[in-house]
Structures are given as structure tokens and as C-alpha cells.
Structure 1
Amino acid sequence: MAQASPTPAPPLSGPMMIFAGLILAAANFLVVLDTTIANVSVSNIAGALGVSPSQGTWVITSYAVAEAVVVPLTGWLSARFGAVKVFVLGMLGFGLFSFLCGLAPSLSLLVLFRVLQGACGGPLMPLSQTLLLKVFPPKYAPAATGLWAMTTLVAPILGPILGGVLCDNVGWAFIFWINVPVAAICGWLAWKLLNRYETPLAPARVDVVGLALLTIWVGALQVMVDLGKEHEWFASPLIVTLAVIALLGFLAFLIWELTDANPIVDLRVFRHRGYSASVVTLSVAFGAFFGINVLTPLWLQQNMGYTATDAGHVSALLGVTAVMMAPFAASLSAKVDPRRLVFAGLVWMGLITVMRSQANSQMGFFDIGQWLLLQGFGMPLFFVPLTGLALACVDEPETASAAGLMNFCRTLSGAIATSIVSTVWTDNASRNHNDLAGVLNDPQAVMDQMGAVGMSTEQARGTVDQLVQGQSVMLATNQVFLAMAVLFVAAALIIWLAPKPTRVVDTSAVH
């Protein structure tokens, strides 16, 4: 067992430094990749396990929620067991539960393994960043944080492409099994290379009550929004019960965390108006962004006839321009009022989403892809300056807890938005189907014409119904896009509640 050195170990140099940096970057890449790799595979997974696509989105939300809940525990885990041990065990656990995800014979087991996978992955993001700064000498700190930030930005882009290729060519299980060798190798090499950087152990106290309340209200809320459609929402005693548990759990969590001497989540940072406005802006905007990113491949596969691979290629176009724009946005953040950049980025994304709400079922790959390429320009403009603005509004000793809380809110908003968007989409498609069926222009004449060319009555009726269903889904997709555009614009207005920051915070290491 590695013991913490009484004096800090010196940074690495040369090839060993680069090698260790790549291991840590790969760990962060793997965890972030799994937030999007299943996006284009939901339809395949749902079909293989005999559930609806809306139920299949649990594969995405369960991972995100578990990851969000565990992130605030990273500091306690590191102090209690050592940062390197937690990192290595997190990697090995991530690989183990990834393997079990691919073997899952039912949705319930798959969701369970995804929860455990997300719980193991939660600490890996902050720890990979912390250990990078120990491995790299101070003069290379910008390169270290740049390497970490690049994996955070690139992984969600490659996720849909890799997920689509694996799903179409070797099966959906491989979107999880691909993690296993990488996690095993990175865990073993990290133990060999990094044990000299083990952190001193301390009898750290964990806020058990706060953690329990956090888990209860977040879990109840997520299950409520996931099951709401199937149980007719508040007509169901189950949904009402979950809503009450979520509300009471949240209120109890607020009271406890605001009065506990060592809270698991330091809610006191919300006393800063600029931080509160920034976090609300981030939650609304990221929820809208993540929601349409989940909806796009579902729509392409179910309504446009795309394979998972092709849907992944289209979805990933958003990230191409985002990566190109990120350095420009980072440099502008230090020179321009960040509120202006956030406002411009969100309004831009809202306008492009309005354009996307005019889609039709005759559109080709380029017609859809050009919108995503354009939308990608706005993503760094709102995300990079918004992070810096939020952290510039809190006291310097609060920066770490404020960054962790932002990460929690961002991840949770994406998970909840995924559930809501998938539910609204299917509900609107059903309602649109009923509305369109009632206004068809002489459907019997159309069916008679089909009968004249050899179709049976059942075939003709099925063809008409399929056409109506296709247009119903298309309308539902556009309706959701339009609603998300409204959220982008609303978020753009909320940011003006924040005061102009009086200091600049380096955002390269905070995500």
C-alpha cells in the first residue's frame, strides 16, 4: 500500500511526465465520454431489452445523476483514503461496472450498473485534474490544464460517433466494454507511476446526513420525471409520493446544509448574487443544450431512417466548431465583459435552435448538419465565460466548493432535461397524431388508390398511419426545439442579474 510522503514528491519530467499526463487525461476522457456515448444507442438498447425509447433514456440519466451526487464526496474520499488510492479504485470500479453494463439482460440491471459506474466515475474528473498538477512542474501547469480541458471538450464530441459505430457494427454492449481495457490499463499504470504522490490521510468527517438527503431528493426527483409519463403523472399515487419525497427531502437538505458546520455541499456560496445568477443561467442553458443533444439522434433514427453511426456523425458536428471556437472564447473572456459573451452565445444558440424548429422529414444530412455546425459556435461563448464569471463572484477560499457545486448543478440539469424532453416529445407525438388523423383530407380516397395498385385494406391503412405518425414525430421534434430556443433566450436574460465581475478567474482547469 502506498503511503503519503512527509514531503511532497517532485514533479515528473521528460517522457515519464508525458506518459503520466496521458494516463490521467485518458481517465478523464473515459468518464466524460460515457455521458454521451449512449445517446445514439438508446433506440438499439431499448429494442434489445424490450422497452420504449423514453425508458431507454434511463441509461443516460442514471449515469449522470450518480456522477453528480458522488462528485461532492471527492474531497472527503481523498482525505480519508488518499487521492491516488481513490483514483485507482475508481478506475477499476469504472471498468468492472462497464463490463457488467454490457452483460445486463434487463433495463433494471443496466440502470443499476450505470448508477454504480457513474458513482465510480464521479471522483475521477476532479482527481485527474488534481493529480495532473502534481505530476507536471509549475511551469507546465497551463499545458496540464489545457490537456485536461481538451479531453473534457473532445470526449462528448467523439461519444456519439464512437457509440454509433460500435452499436451498428458489433453491438450496443461494446459501448460499455470498450471502457474495460482502458480502465484496467490506466488503473494499473496510475498505481505504478503515481503512488509517490499519495496525499496525506486525515480523519476527515463526512456529512452523512447531508449525503443521505442529497441522494434521497435527487433520486426521487429523477425517478419521478422518468416514470411520470408511464403513470399518468399526478394521477398516480406513486408519482405524488415521489414528488412529496423530493420536495421534503430538498427542503430538509437545504436546512441541514445551511446549518451544518461541515456541509457536503456548501450552499452558502449562493449568497453571492453573481454566482446564483450564473448557476441558474448554466442550469437552464445546459439543460436545453443537453436535451436537444439527446433528442437529435432519437429523431434521426426513429423518424429519418438514420443508422446509429450516421446519427452519431450528425450529432458530433456540433462539437467541431465548438472546439475551434474554444480558444477564441477563452481569450475574449479576459478582455470583454463576460456577461456580454454569455448573452451573445446563448442568443446565438437560441436563434439557431429556432431555425432547427423548422425542420422537415425531407431534409438531408447537410441540411441538418449545417445547423449543428452553426450552433457549435455559440457553445464556448456561453460556457467558458460563464464559468469564469460565476467563480469571480465568490470569495477566493470558496472557489473549489463553488466549482464543485456548479458541476453538480450542470450534471443534474442535463439528466433531468433528458427525462423531460423525451417525455414531452413522445406525448406531443401522440397528441399530434390524433390531431392530424382528425383533419386528413379524404383518407378513404387515398386508401382506395392504394388498393387499386394492389395493396390490401390493412396495408393501405398501415401506410396512411405510418405517414401520419412520421409527420406527428416531426412536429413534436420541432415543438421541443422551439421550447428549447425559448429556454436559451431566457437564460441569456437571466445572466444580466449578475454584476460585472471585479476579478478574472482562470477557467482552463474548471469544468
Structure 2
Amino acid sequence: MENANTTEQPQPLTGGKLVLATFAVALATFMNVLDSSIANVAIPTISGNLGVSVDEGTWVITLFAAANAVSIPLTGWLTQRIGQIRLFVGAILLFVLSSWLCGVAPTLPVLLAARVLQGAVAGPLIPLSQAILLGSYPKQRSATALALWAMTATVGPIAGPALGGWMTDRYSWSWIFYINIPVGLFAAAVTWIIYRSRETPTRALPIDTIGLAALITWVASLQIMLDKGKDLDWFHSSLIVGLGVVALISFAFFVIWELTEAHPIIDLRLFAGRNFLGGTVAISVAYGVFFANLVLLPQWMQQYLGYPAVNAGLVTAPLGIFAVILAPVLGKIMPRSDARVLATLAFAGFAVVFFMRSGYTTTVDTWTLVLPTLLQGIPTALFFVPLTAIILSGLSPDKIPAAAGLSNFARVFTGAVGTSLASTAWNDRNILHHSQLAEQASPHNPIFVRSVEALQSTAGFSHDQAMAFFERSITAQAAMLGLNDIFWISGVIFIVIIPLIWLTRPARGGNAAAAAAAH
């Protein structure tokens, strides 16, 4: 049944109320974006405190992303059933609750369950924050509203790693989740006070329950298979085989069902459009590589370079500096530019950054770590809006919400998959390099024998101490070489996917506002 008292479009806000409303809504966005990056530097600490491996600790990130991806397509249906403001405030409060559950989690399974809940309720926050801000400003100032939103969303990657590292070192990893509680409560209270009289109309709509069940089944099966595969020796494990079969069958059923359902939860017919297909595949693969490297880099610095969590966070924080500086510049050049050119420059920039990193050594200095991260902010600024403009170009207005939801789902879920695959690949390359390096540590290798003797004579090491020293050195070297391989492959992937951009038709800045609003 439709709400009769909220059928007229509310007038834009003005004065202090507009400022306070913008701040509150932006805070909810900041909280969500912050939580997707703040845990990256804390994974080694979380893993150690909970008595699990770092690989298992990475599930804290991947399961959050997978749950978040599944919930994003539900935003439109939930908005029409519950109302925009009630859904937004409710999602914030549930995010606060799940953050508290994450902080008090005594074991990894409890923490993972809380992160799944947190990821699921976070789905509506980003699209609704944009929609609420756009409705608060006059149409002629929509670019201002989106610029403020983009600035808030971009600050998250700057503050997240540094803040997460500082809290982990100074207090405990639980505080990276507790910080959401006061922020979320303030944002929810202010938003409700200002916007409760501006609720959107609601109506009863059918939901594609079978499609939703199939979506959850194949996403969950695939993600668990990727996360557990390395520990269980992949398809030598009956559990992994079973998960793979379930994922494959449920995915096939999902595709067939969604293509024949009158009200699909995800409109797969959108992939028939050249721009949507090419743009979505490009942004998803690129984001998967981008996000996976953001997870692995601070882990390597903490585990093998001895960086405290706060220092690892400070090294990765400069990513957002150029992204913030260039955001308003991009807004000016987009209307006069071919989005394909900007996206190509972004991919080429990412490739350069990863090729720079592929030459790291175990004695790398801090500036050499910081410089590529700082430069990575340039392609990051040129990444999302041009590609989203390509994705949405040529679509009728009634198709844009479904297209934005589907492309967001694909991007966020590929981020989770990319992190799992990159973690597995790094482990495999570590094992290979360790084996190759260990072959040189032989009594038949005169260079190795002289090195052991030098340690014994100059450093006073016993034979066992000298061998332990070499084992630690080999382990660190193998990890560095393995990560360099990941960096190099990442650079190659960005080069390889550039042609996907040029399979699309030209998309100019006319879609820039719609693109930003969709993401």
C-alpha cells in the first residue's frame, strides 16, 4: 500500500539544516567506506589474537565484501517497501550493532558472522546516501552535492589505514569496529530528525525470492570455496569439490531463472548492451586487482618488513591524496572528454604503479613504498566516474537504477574474489620461490658454505643459529619475490583489459552526474 502523505517531492533544504544534514549523511558514507579499508592493516594482529593464520584472517575482508555485494541489488526493492529514510537510518543502526558484535567477538567464526551481517546491512548505505543528498539540494546544485559526497567517500582510504593502524597499536583491534558506534549513532539521530518528514512513498512489491536464494547460494559457495581451498588442498578435498558443484549448479540456475523471471532481482538482460557489458567487466576486473593489492601490501609490510600496524597504515594512506585533489578537476573535464580516454589513462597509470612495485627488495626504504601509493591516487581519481559513465551511457532513466545496482554488485563481489585469488597466488608463489632458494642452501654449494662459516666466525653464531638465520632470510626473500610476481601480474592485467574499454561506444560527460549518483 502506498503512503499517501509523502507523494509530493520535498523542497530542497537550506541554511544550517542543509549543512548539518550533509554532514550527517556524509558521515554514514565515511563510516562505510572507512570500514572497508580500516581492517586491512589490522589483519595480522586480528589473526594473532584469535589464534588463526593471516590467510584465515583475510576472510574478515572477503566475507564482508561478498555479503555487501549480495545486498546491493536489494536496495531498490527495500527502498520501495520500507521507505528511503527508514531504510537508511535502519541500515546505519544495524551497522552500529554489527560493529559492536565485531569488536566483542571472541573467536574467528563469531567475528566472521558479525562481518557478514555488517556487510549485508552496509549495502544500501552508499546508494541511499547519494540519493538523499541529491534530494536535499536544488537541481542546479546537484554537482555540488555529488562533489561533497565524493570528497567524503575518498577521505576513507586516506584515514582508514592510518586510523586502523594507530588504534590497533595503541589500543586493540576491536576499536577499529567500536569507532563506528558513536559516529553511526550521531549520523542516524541527525538524519532521522531532519529527514523523517521527507520519507519517500512506499508500495508493496513482489520480490524474487527464488532468484535471491540462488544468488546467495552461489555467491556463498564460491566465496567459501576460494577462501578455504588453499587450506584444504583445493579439489583434493571433498568439501571443496562439493562447494564447487553447488556454486556451479546454483549459478547456472540463477542465470536461467533471472533471464525468464518477470521481476528479477538482477536484470541480466542489461549485459546485452555493449557499453554495459564492456564497462562492467572492465571496472570489476580492475577493482578486483586494485582491492586485492590494497589488502596484501600492508600484510607484507607487517609480516616481513617488521612495520607496526600504524606505520603500514601511513604508507598506504597517501593513496587518497591525489584522488581528493583531482576530484573537482575531473568534474570539469568530464563534460568535454571521451570517458574511454580517461579510463584508459587510469588503467595505464595503474599498470605503471604496479610495475614500479614489482622491483621491491627486502631492504626497500619507506619512500620507495610510499611513492607508488601516492601516484596511485592519480589513476584512482580517473577510475570510477568515467567507467560508470560508460556503463550507464545509452540507458533509459528507468534502467539506470538496475544497471547501477548490477554493476556495483559485480564490482564489489569481484573485489572479494580478487582478494581470495591474490592471497592464494601469493602463497603459491612463496612456496615456489622458497623451494628454489632452499636448493641453494646445500653443503655442496661453496658460496653457501662460506656464508655459514662467515656467520660463525664474525657473528659468533653456532651452526644451528646460522642455519636458522638463513631460513628466515629465505622465507622473507621468497615472500618478497612472490609479492613482486603479484604486482607484475597486476600490471599486465591492467594493460590486457584496456581493449575492453574500446569495445564500447563513446560516452561523454553528459552521463557524469548520473554516473556519480549511481555509485
TM-score, length-scaled by structure 2: 0.95
Does 1:135 find its partner at 2:141? no
Q: Could you list the runs of 5+ residues in structure 1 that have no partner in the other structure?
A: none
* 2:147 and 2:328 in contact (8 A); partners too: no
Q: Residues 354 and 268 from structure 1, CA distance in 2 versus in 1: closer, same or farther, beyond 3 angstroms? A: same
Measure the CA separation in 1 of the matches of 2:248 and 2:341: 35
Post-superposition Cα deviations, 1:376-404, rounded to whole Å, max 9, x if no partner, equal 21222232211111111433321111111
* Identity level (%): 41
Q: After TM superposition, which residue ranges in structure 1, 4 or more long, deviate above 4 angstroms?
A: none
Match of 2:451 in 1: 446
Cα–Cα, structure 1 residues 502 and 132, in superposed 2: closer, same or farther, change >3 Å? closer
Alignment of 1:78-477 (within 5 A): 78-440=79-441, 441-442=445-446, 443-452=448-457, 453-477=459-483
Q: Is the CA contact (8 Å cut-off) linking 1:85 and 1:198 kept in structure 2?
A: yes
C-alpha displacement of 1:269? 1.1
- Describe the SS at the equivalent of 2:318: helix
Partner of 2:501: 495
Distance 1:90 1:159, change over 3 A: same
Letter in 1 for 2:501: I
Separation of aligned partners in 2, 1:415 and 1:455: 45
**Matched residue, 1:63:** 64
Aligned-residue Cα RMSD (Å) equals 1.7
Letter matched to residue 485 of structure 2 = Q
Displacement of 1:175: 0.2
**Residues 392, 503 of structure 1: 8 Å contact kept:** no
Instruction: Check the 8 A contact 2:322/2:381 in 1, yes or no.
Output: no
Deviations 1:460-511 (A, max 9, x none): 2211100111110110010010111111111212211112237820233232
In the alignment, the residues of structure 2 paired with residue 57 and residue 4 of structure 1 have an alpha-carbon distance, to the nearest angstrom, of: 47
CA shift in 2, pair 1:223/1:187, >3 Å: same
CA contact (8 A) 1:92 1:187 kept: yes
Partner of 1:508: 516
Specify whether residues 12 and 344 from structure 1 end up closer, same or farther in structure 2 by C-alpha distance, changes over 3 A only. Answer: closer
Alpha-carbon distance in structure 1 between the residues aligned to 2:329 and 2:480: 36
Change (3 A) 1:239 1:293: same
3-state SS, counterpart of residue 394 of structure 1: coil
Q: How many residues align?
A: 510
Cα gap change, 1:274/1:164 in structure 2, threshold over 3 Å: closer, same or farther? same
- Give matches, 1:36-51, under 5 Å: 36-51=37-52
Residues 242-289 of structure 1, C-alpha deviations (whole Å, 9 max, x = no match):
111111111111111111111111111111111101111111111111
Q: Quick one: distance in 2 between partners of 1:217 and 1:263? A: 16
Cα distance change of structure 1 residues 502 and 259 upon mapping to structure 2, 3 Å threshold: farther
Give the CA deviation at 1:362.
Answer: 1.4
Q: What letter is aligned with 2:516? A: S
What one-letter code is carried by the residue in structure 2 that aligns with 1:247? Answer: L
1:35 and 1:4 mapped to 2: Cα distance? 37
SS of corresponding position for 2:362:
coil
SS of the residue corresponding to residue 181 of structure 1 reads helix
Q: Bigger CA drift: 235-244 or 169-178?
A: 235-244
Conserved in 1, the CA contact under 8 Å of 2:150 and 2:327?
no
CA distance in 2 between counterparts of 1:182 and 1:3 reads: 33
Letter in 2 for 1:380: A
Q: Do 2:151 and 2:327's aligned partners in 1 also have CA atoms closer than 8 Å?
A: no
Q: CA deviation at 1:70?
A: 0.7
1:155-200 Cα deviation digits (max 9, x unpaired): 1222111111111111100000000111112212222221101122
**Bigger CA drift: 127-136 or 60-69?**
127-136
Conservation of the 8 A alpha-carbon contact between 1:295 and 1:422: yes
Using the TM superposition, give the Cα deviation of residue 3 of structure 1 relative to its aligned residue in structure 2, in angstroms.
Answer: 8.7
Is the 1:26–1:186 contact (alpha carbons within 8 Å) kept by the matching residues of 2?
Answer: yes
Q: Secondary structure at the match of 1:51?
A: coil
Identify which range, 45-54 or 138-147, moves more after superposition.
138-147
Is the contact between residue 389 and residue 507 of structure 2 (CA under 8 Å) also seen in structure 1? Answer: no
Query: Conserved in 1, the CA contact under 8 Å of 2:40 and 2:161?
Result: yes
Structure 2, gaps ≥5 residues long? none
Alpha-carbon separation, structure 2, partners of 1:38 and 1:325: 26
Tell me, in whole angstroms, the C-alpha distance in 1 between the residues paired with 2:300 and 2:468.
Answer: 21
2: CA distance, partners of 1:434 / 1:6? 68
After superposition, the Cα gap between the structure-2 partners of 1:140 and 1:368, relative to the gap in structure 1 and judged at 3 Å, is same
Deviations 1:415-454 (A, max 9, x none): 1111111111122112211110102344344333333343
Q: Provide the C-alpha distance between the structure 2 equivalents of 1:6 and 1:290, rounded to a whole number of angstroms.
A: 41
Q: Give the AA of the match of 1:291.
A: A
Report the Cα distance in structure 1 between the residues aligned to 2:368 and 2:185, rounded to whole angstroms.
Answer: 42
Report the residue type matching 1:448 in the other structure: E
Where 1:35 maps in the other structure, the secondary structure is helix
SS in 2 for 1:347: helix
* CA distance in 1 between partners of 2:209 and 2:42 (Å): 36
Quick check: 2:340–2:502 contact (8 Å CA) kept in 1?
yes
